[in-house]
Structure 1
Amino acid sequence: MTELLLVMYARVNAKEGSPPIPWPEPSWRPGDPLPETAAAADEEKRARARATYERINSQMLPEKR
């Protein structure tokens, strides 16, 4: 939050015609899942989708049984 306020202050008080100051990278906010938790959930979701795909293939394609 502090970085955002600092950039906003610098942008407002910059001389006209000066190059724009880039916005800071978004940071973690309370209520958002931790990056490690989100990555683990994505991996679990990917594994479930792959298992479902394999199960459907085994049911529909005789050579996959």
Structure 2
Amino acid sequence: MNANRESGTPAMPWPEPGWRPGDPLPEERAERDEQDRAQARAAYERMTAQLLPERE
């Protein structure tokens, strides 16, 4: 629509992205994000325990 708009009028905004085939469903994405957070937390705690043994 922006190609045929009158000069001087503001450009139309981009549409909100929607779900596409092949994209994970919102439930799957939330579950994966939760697993990633748990894995990152475990890695952080493992490194902290090695570097700062007095914090255990």
Whether TM exceeds 0.5 here: the answer is yes
Deviations 1:8-39 (A, max 9, x none): xx323321221111111111111111122112
Tell me which residue corresponds to 2:35.
44
Taking only the aligned residue pairs, the percentage that are identical comes to 57
Runs of 4+ in 1 over 3 A off after TM superposition: none
Q: Which runs of 5+ in 1 are unaligned?
A: 1-9
Tell me which residue corresponds to 2:51.
60
TM-score (norm 2): 0.72
Decide which of 30, 35, 51 is 2:26's aligned counterpart: 35
Q: Does 1:16 align with 2:1?
A: no
Aligned residues: 56
The CA deviation at 1:58 is: 2.1
Root mean square deviation, CA, Å: 1.7
Greater relative contact order (CA < 8 Å, ≥ 6 in sequence) = 1
The structure with the greater share of residues assigned to helix is 1
